[in-house]
């Protein structure tokens, strides 16, 4: 039973499951013409962006494949690289297509019954989740069957990473340029509601949710998932010893793949739990999602125990996996605590808004900084325990364990943007405020479960990066004393690695700022020049705004993306010790910065919502205006710079590992 | 000539020079009663704060001295620790006394002649600068004469570091609680000008400039100065080999001290250059300060060349010192570029203000992040070159070289707050807008030279911390392979070190936010409850606001300060490898965060000033309101959290080094 075919089969199952769900979604009613037209506009806007993005990416993939082919790196890695890039792009593409097909259907569903809206949104997310894991498992096993060499697999991982980085950066810049631009003129200057169809940037904003939060996230988690498995295989390939037991190379390679394959089934079972009954209230919807997430995690733990016990005969890797899983849950709960308005940090930001935007910003930023405590400690404990129980091999296994139920957790993540879009469509399509409220409530329901998913994403990124980094150190094969933190080369590397994460964040943030400024000018221009627009008597030129976002995203992904790819190669050719330091510095600083940016952004967002619920003066108060400022500042923090950092640290580790033959 | 007595003598010279300058300042006219009363109020407010601060610090010093005495650390270190703490506090105290005696005199001087204002402000700064270097040199040589053991000197350095950290944190929280509180109600809500005497927080704000920017900075640079010398002595104590030449322990110890002693004379000569002629315009005032800073640096280079050549006979350390100096200047110029309104980054922030506070904040923060590039690269180059030319010994020598003219550079730093206070006194004392403008212009003149001083402070902090860290690694005496970045313990340490800097910043920032909120409430209360206050018919209760700032500062220094002291000790007792990682992680992340916070704050401040000069709509425009928000956000960034981080990283390295006997 435990062989590569089983893993491939699990991948095929995942894709079939995704296909069935997709068929079910497409059978749901699309709504009246106005509503389905909106959905079509968003769909074609999103596809236009993806298609424009593929051109420069194809050039990049082509050039990089040639470089891989002509240098001392195994030639097969070049093909694996193309495969990884293709699968990553495909996963994001499919996820986005289905998400943009689901938005109006979720709105129509929610109109009928709130539970129906949940089911459509969740299924859309599950299509994406299952596609990601299915493509990854099939891709990895195909390559391994072709050439059983970790170096080739790393090529696959690098392909996935680079697409993920560019997609996250470009998508993040796209979505936040549109969002900030739409809000700054619409909500702040013209005082028209969010998602108002008179706002020329509203379509770009809704397209952005899909290209950033769906396609970007799909590519991101595809690479996390593949990356964690690849790093486990790389470390396990030489054979390992755990608690005195020898584990053969073949077993050490097959174990993480089989773990992931079991995860597919755990996710499917979990997904079936998510069945809200008729007439369900919010509480039971919440429970339905929770059952799915925790149910699949629990099933996974049982599967992992049985598998580890029978297949490896030594439980170390199982404990490693459990410590990873526990860390992921702890990180998720901590992120929830720091960003949800039920808890004091976010309420504190709302209170600080009463003395204006400056105190709101200072408080929010300090909440973001504080929120690093539990996640970083959790990562440290997970590293310590997984190493203790299963040596270096334990670290990626912890990440594999955390991501094994990705099919399920990604569904709760993607579910949010689909209902966000549904709420927008309800507003633009005049479906009535009840539908809008329901869609927004559905979005909110997903936040809690999404927090756990985000915890897994952050934790696994850190663990995977540490594992890849360890594999790099192992592969360069120089004495450990040369890599001592007392060596000036290593210290210099640490500084450069930390620096890269700061510069990378600066570049992405600045790109959003500039994109938003262009958007503001365009929206202002349309309000001025198109007669009757504000009165709703004329149509805005949505496509102009879509174009601005597209340009901002594509133009500005080049430098940060290039920096991430080129710097490790240059530093590595100069000194492998400095590159080791660079990776360690980037992982540490990148994790801290990513958490700070993500959580301060999330907390600002929810502090604003808390006030909008009627607290501290409610909508229209001074406090609300200050909180809107915080929310806008948080946009590029949480949706552009923050999430890109997670990919950056893995990408740099992956590229370093792949290019070792060039360095030594 | 080259012996300890020469060094002591140089220290005495420095103190005598400071005394003469102080006498000269005190002979200048204090101004009319109203003006001199204001100065007295600020003086006594500042002293009250310092006196309240000394009580908890005395308790801390007492307990820590007992711990040092009863543990395995050499008993003399306990006494040296008390000495270091005392000298550090004394340097800050003297500097602050003279600064608060100088403010009204500088205003009166500027009324007569702008050059006179410069001279008084600059002399006040020079008193502080010379006191700092004098006390440090005398303290260090006294201890070395008593017990020639680097372990004891480290006790001295630790005493200085701890006082510096607490003073910086408490002073920074004090000053920014008052500043933000005064501005949020005064400027934003009541639309009264800055430093308006009707504002109840105005005295606290002016006191804050002294306790934060003068006393805090004095203690800070005292410890940098002493710390760089101590780390050079620690590394040199075992004797060193440079380019095949053996340098004896005695010579390696004496060299940094003598370098610093020569710096005293270079600073004095530089200070004498700062003599603006009668009727000087801004340009020539600027030149006068520049001549002082660059003149003393140039003289120092010549002195260092001669000294190194004659005394050591090998030029490696001289090159190390020059690379440090060059890095300091590069960092200073980079900081200037990123924060001055003549250049595009700050102008970009001003432009982004036109679309509201959110874009102002995002742009400013991304400028802060970008501004890390040149400083970090400069530090890396300085580490690489100084190591190349003089081995590990070269790294602290680079820092010693950078700080050797501290007597001069600190003068240009402290000069700012004195003229800031003078401008406040001119406003409150109705001395006329001309005097206020002159004082403000003097403040602005100092900004450029202060940038270089700040560059030296940042660069030297990083180099000193790296040197202390290397000394720690050396002293724990474990194999380098145990300290490899591939060891999980080291990785965990790196994470914890990075984490500490984020949590520390969060705590200090939150303290300012909370202090400012209390201040806002109090100021609002007074405006409401004291009849006629806004019309200028009643006196505000200044002392209430002073009390709030004092409490905020003292209460909130405990946790971040305690964290900085206790964490390294606990981690070290658990694992010396993890502590090594912790120090490296904290240095890298701390430097990045410190630069980001300092420069984004500086850039926001100057973007606001740029608009106030009449650009982009000028005062009262929407852009100006947005820029005021940015400036307020920047207050705790640049004056509380940012500068404290520089001390934090050195303090943690110092404490780790001191406590090694407990760990191994």
| C-beta atoms surrounding B245 within 10 Å | 11
Q: By the CB < 8 Å criterion, does A320 face chain B? A: no
A518, two tokens: 């262009």
Q: By the CB < 8 Å criterion, does A478 face chain B? A: no
| C-beta atoms surrounding B29 within 10 Å | 13
Smallest CA–CA distance from B509 into chain A, residue: A366
- Among residues A233, A230, A249, the alpha carbon closest in space to that of A80 is found at A230
Query: Given a cut of 70, is residue B278 above it in pLDDT?
Result: no
Query: Given a cut of 70, is residue A326 above it in pLDDT?
Result: yes
Q: By the CB < 8 Å criterion, does A383 face chain B? A: yes
Which residue matches tokens 């009928």? A112
Smallest CA–CA distance from B184 into chain A, residue: A355
Q: By the CB < 8 Å criterion, does B494 face chain A? A: yes
Dihedral sign (CA A181, A182, A188, A189): positive
Phi, psi values for residue A283, rounded to 5°: -55, -45
pLDDT at position A441, please? 82
* DSSP 8-state class, residue A424: H
What would the mean pLDDT of A596-624 be, rounded to a whole number? 94
B391, two tokens: 């081995």
Q: B384 vs A485: CB contact, 8 Å cut-off?
A: no
Give the containing element (helix H, strand E) for B127. Answer: helix B114-146
B2, two tokens: 């080259």
pLDDT at position B546, please? 92
Calculate the average pLDDT of chain A: 92
What would the mean pLDDT of A642-656 be, rounded to a whole number? 94
pLDDT band, very low/low/confident/very high, at A147 (cuts 50, 70, 90): very high
Phi, psi values for residue B342, rounded to 5°: -70, -20
pLDDT at position A479, please? 77
Contact of A479 with B480, CB cutoff 8 Å = no
Q: A580 vs B485: CB contact, 8 Å cut-off?
A: yes
Domain spans of chain B, in order of start = 4-663
CA B1, B6, B11 angle in degrees (round to 5)?
160
pLDDT band, very low/low/confident/very high, at B190 (cuts 50, 70, 90): confident
Which residues are within 8 A (CB) of B476 and not within 5 positions of it... i.e. 6 or more apart? B576, B580, B660, B663, B664
Q: By the CB < 8 Å criterion, does A359 face chain B? A: yes
pLDDT at position A574, please? 96
pLDDT band, very low/low/confident/very high, at B1 (cuts 50, 70, 90): low
Q: By the CB < 8 Å criterion, does A463 face chain B? A: no
Q: By the CB < 8 Å criterion, does B478 face chain A? A: no
pLDDT at position B285, please? 81
Question: Chain B 20-39, CB below 8 Å of chain A: which residues?
Answer: none
In three-state form (DSSP H/G/I as H, E/B as E, the rest C), the secondary structure along A272-298 is HHCCCCCCCCHHHHHHHHHHHHHHHHH
Q: A180 vs B466: CB contact, 8 Å cut-off?
A: no
Nearest to A632 among B188, B358, B505 (CB): B358
pLDDT at position A308, please? 96
- Among residues A301, A332, A265, A192, the alpha carbon closest in space to that of A12 is found at A265
Of the CA atoms within 13 Å of residue B643, those in its CB half-sphere come to 34
Phi, psi values for residue B276, rounded to 5°: -70, 135
Show residues of chain B in contact with A362, CB under 8 Å: 509, 512-513, 632-633, 636
Distance CA B517, CA A248 (A): 63
Interface test with B, best of A177, A187, A355 (most B CBs within 10 A): A355
Torsion of CA A643, A644, A645, A651, to 10 degrees: 130
What would the mean pLDDT of A369-396 be, rounded to a whole number? 96
Q: Is A251 exposed, middle or buried (0-12, 13-18, 19+ CB in 10 A)?
A: middle
Radius of gyration, CA atoms only, chain A: 23
Interval B584-630: pLDDT, tens: 999 999 999 999 999 999 999 999 999 999 999 999 899 999 999 99
Q: By the CB < 8 Å criterion, does A335 face chain B? A: no
Distance CA B348, CA A517 (A): 12
Nearest to A379 among B352, B495, B636 (CB): B495
B167: closest CA of chain A, how far (Å): 21
pLDDT at position B417, please? 85
H-only helix segments in A344-405: 344-352, 357-370, 373-403
Distance CA A103, CA A123 (A): 11
Q: A588 vs B585: CB contact, 8 Å cut-off?
A: yes
Q: A372 vs B474: CB contact, 8 Å cut-off?
A: no
A128-132, B289-293, B453-457, B638-642: least confident range: B453-457
Residues in chain B: 664
H-only helix segments in A71-113: 75-112
Which whole-number Å values give the CA distances from B663 to B73, B573, B635, B655, in the listed order?
10, 5, 39, 12
A90, two tokens: 């495909």
Contact of B456 with B440, CB cutoff 8 Å = no
pLDDT band, very low/low/confident/very high, at A234 (cuts 50, 70, 90): very high
If one compares A305 and A449, the residue with the highest pLDDT of the two is A305
pLDDT band, very low/low/confident/very high, at A190 (cuts 50, 70, 90): confident
pLDDT at position B279, please? 62
Which whole-number Å values give the CA distances from B545 to B188, B202, B651, in the listed order?
18, 9, 31
Contact of A318 with A258, CB cutoff 8 Å = no
Of the CA atoms within 13 Å of residue B483, those in its CB half-sphere come to 26
Contact of A414 with A125, CB cutoff 8 Å = yes
pLDDT band, very low/low/confident/very high, at B511 (cuts 50, 70, 90): very high
Dihedral sign (CA B255, B260, B264, B265): positive
Interval B512-561: pLDDT, tens: 989 998 999 899 999 999 998 988 889 899 999 999 999 999 999 999 99
Interval B415-472: pLDDT, tens: 888 888 898 898 888 888 888 888 888 887 777 677 777 788 888 899 999 999 988 9
Show residues of chain A in contact with B474, CB under 8 Å: 486
A390: closest CA of chain B, how far (Å): 12
- Among residues A455, A104, A457, A120, the alpha carbon closest in space to that of A274 is found at A120
- Among residues A308, A294, A328, the alpha carbon closest in space to that of A224 is found at A328
* Residue B240, strand partner residues: B247
Distance CA B486, CA B470 (A): 18
pLDDT band, very low/low/confident/very high, at A1 (cuts 50, 70, 90): low
pLDDT band, very low/low/confident/very high, at A455 (cuts 50, 70, 90): confident
Contact of B633 with A361, CB cutoff 8 Å = yes
Q: A376 vs B517: CB contact, 8 Å cut-off?
A: no
Question: Chain B 193-232, CB below 8 Å of chain A: which residues?
Answer: none
- Among residues B580, B583, B582, the alpha carbon closest in space to that of B476 is found at B580
- What is the crossing angle of helices B150-182 and B488-529, to 10°? 40
Which residues are within 8 A (CB) of B473 and not within 5 positions of it... i.e. 6 or more apart? A484, A485, A486, B483, B580
- Among residues A367, A432, A412, the alpha carbon closest in space to that of A606 is found at A367
* DSSP 8-state class, residue B429: T
Distance CA A388, CA B545 (A): 54
In three-state form (DSSP H/G/I as H, E/B as E, the rest C), the secondary structure along B629-649 is HHHHHHHHHHHHHHHHHHHHH
pLDDT band, very low/low/confident/very high, at A445 (cuts 50, 70, 90): confident
- What is the crossing angle of helices B249-273 and B406-428, to 10°? 40
Which residue matches tokens 């994403």? A457
Nearest to A366 among B481, B487, B513 (CB): B513
Distance CA A492, CA A469 (A): 17
Q: A365 vs B188: CB contact, 8 Å cut-off?
A: no
Phi, psi values for residue A247, rounded to 5°: -115, 125
Show residues of chain A in contact with B496, CB under 8 Å: 376-377, 380
pLDDT at position A280, please? 64
Interval B202-246: pLDDT, tens: 999 999 988 888 888 888 889 999 999 999 999 999 899 998 999
Calculate the average pLDDT of chain B: 92
Nearest to B589 among A483, A588, A633 (CB): A588
Phi, psi values for residue B195, rounded to 5°: 60, 20
Show residues of chain B in contact with A366, CB under 8 Å: 505-507, 509-510, 513
Interface test with B, best of A502, A570, A581 (most B CBs within 10 A): A502
Distance CA B43, CA B37 (A): 10
Distance CA B601, CA A396 (A): 40
Q: A513 vs B380: CB contact, 8 Å cut-off?
A: no
ipTM: 0.96
């Amino acid at each position: 039973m435990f062989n590569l075919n089983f893993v491939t089969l699990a991948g095929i199952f995942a894709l079939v499951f995704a296909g069935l769900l997709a068929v079910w979604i497409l059978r749901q009613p699309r709504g009246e013409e106005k509503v389905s037209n909106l959905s079509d506009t968003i769909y074609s806007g999103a596809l236009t962006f993806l298609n424009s993005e593929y051109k420069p990416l194809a050039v990049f993939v082509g050039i990089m494949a040639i470089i891989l082919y002509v240098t001392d790196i195994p030639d097969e890695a070049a093909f694996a690289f193309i495969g990884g890039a293709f699968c990553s792009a495909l996963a994001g593409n499919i996820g986005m297509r289905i998400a943009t097909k689901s938005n109006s259907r979720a709105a129509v569903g929610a109109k009928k019954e709130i539970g129906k809206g949940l089911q459509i949104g969740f299924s859309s997310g599950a299509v994406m989740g299952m596609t990601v894991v299915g493509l990854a498992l099939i891709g990895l096993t195909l390559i391994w069957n072709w050439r059983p060499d970790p170096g080739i697999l790393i090529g696959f991982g690098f392909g996935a990473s680079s697409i993920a980085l560019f997609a996250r950066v470009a998508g993040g810049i796209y979505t936040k340029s549109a969002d900030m631009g739409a809000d700054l003129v619409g909500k702040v200057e013209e005082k028209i509601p969010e998602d108002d169809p008179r706002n020329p940037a509203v379509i770009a904003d809704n397209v952005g949710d899909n290209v950033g939060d769906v396609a970007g996230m799909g590519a991101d988690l595809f690479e996390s998932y593949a990356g964690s498995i690849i790093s486990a295989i790389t470390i396990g390939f030489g054979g390992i010893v755990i608690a005195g037991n020898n584990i053969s190379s073949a077993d050490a390679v097959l174990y993480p793949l089989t773990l992931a394959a079991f995860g597919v089934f755990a996710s499917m079972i979990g997904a079936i739990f998510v069945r809200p009954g008729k007439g369900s209230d919010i509480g039971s919807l919440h429970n339905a999602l929770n059952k799915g997430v925790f149910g699949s995690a629990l099933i996974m733990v049982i599967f992992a125990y049985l598998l580890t016990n029978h297949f490896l005969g030594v439980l170390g890797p199982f404990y490693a996996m459990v410590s990873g899983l526990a860390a992921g849950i702890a990180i998720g709960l901590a992120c929830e605590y720091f960003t949800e308005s039920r808890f004091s940090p976010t309420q504190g930001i709302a209170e600080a808004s009463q003395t204006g935007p400056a105190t709101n910003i200072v408080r929010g930023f300090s909440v973001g900084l504080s929120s690093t405590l539990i996640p970083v400690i959790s990562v440290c404990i997970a590293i310590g325990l997984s190493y203790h129980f299963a040596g270096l091999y334990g670290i990626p296994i912890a990440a594999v364990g955390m991501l094994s139920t990705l099919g399920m957790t990604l569904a709760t993540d993607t579910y949010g943007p689909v209902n966000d879009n549904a709420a927008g469509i309800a507003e633009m399509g005049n479906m009535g405020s009840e539908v809008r409220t329901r869609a927004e409530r559905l979005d909110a329901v997903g936040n809690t479960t999404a927090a756990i998913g985000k915890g897994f994403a952050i934790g696994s990124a850190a663990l995977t990066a540490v594992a890849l980094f360890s594999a790099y150190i192992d592969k360069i094969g120089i004495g450990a004393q040369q890599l001592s933190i007392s060596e000036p080369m290593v210290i210099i590397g640490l500084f450069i690695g930390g620096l890269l994460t700061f510069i990378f964040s600066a570049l992405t943030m600045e790109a959003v700022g500039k994109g938003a400024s262009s958007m503001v000018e365009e929206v202002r221009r349309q309000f001025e020049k198109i007669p009757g627009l504000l009165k709703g008597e004329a149509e805005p030129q949505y496509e102009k705004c879509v174009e601005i976002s597209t340009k901002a995203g594509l133009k500005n992904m080049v430098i940060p993306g290039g920096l991430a790819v080129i710097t490790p190669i240059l530093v590595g050719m100069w000194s492998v010790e400095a590159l080791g330091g660079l990776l360690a510095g980037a992982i540490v600083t990148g994790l801290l910065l990513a958490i700070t940016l993500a959580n301060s952004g999330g907390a600002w967002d929810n502090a604003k919502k808390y006030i909008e619920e009627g607290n501290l003066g409610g909508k229209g108060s001074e406090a609300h205006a200050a909180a809107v400022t915080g929310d806008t500042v948080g946009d590029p923090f949480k949706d552009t710079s923050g999430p890109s950092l997670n990919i950056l640290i893995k990408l740099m580790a992956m590229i370093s590992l792949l290019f070792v033959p060039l360095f030594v």
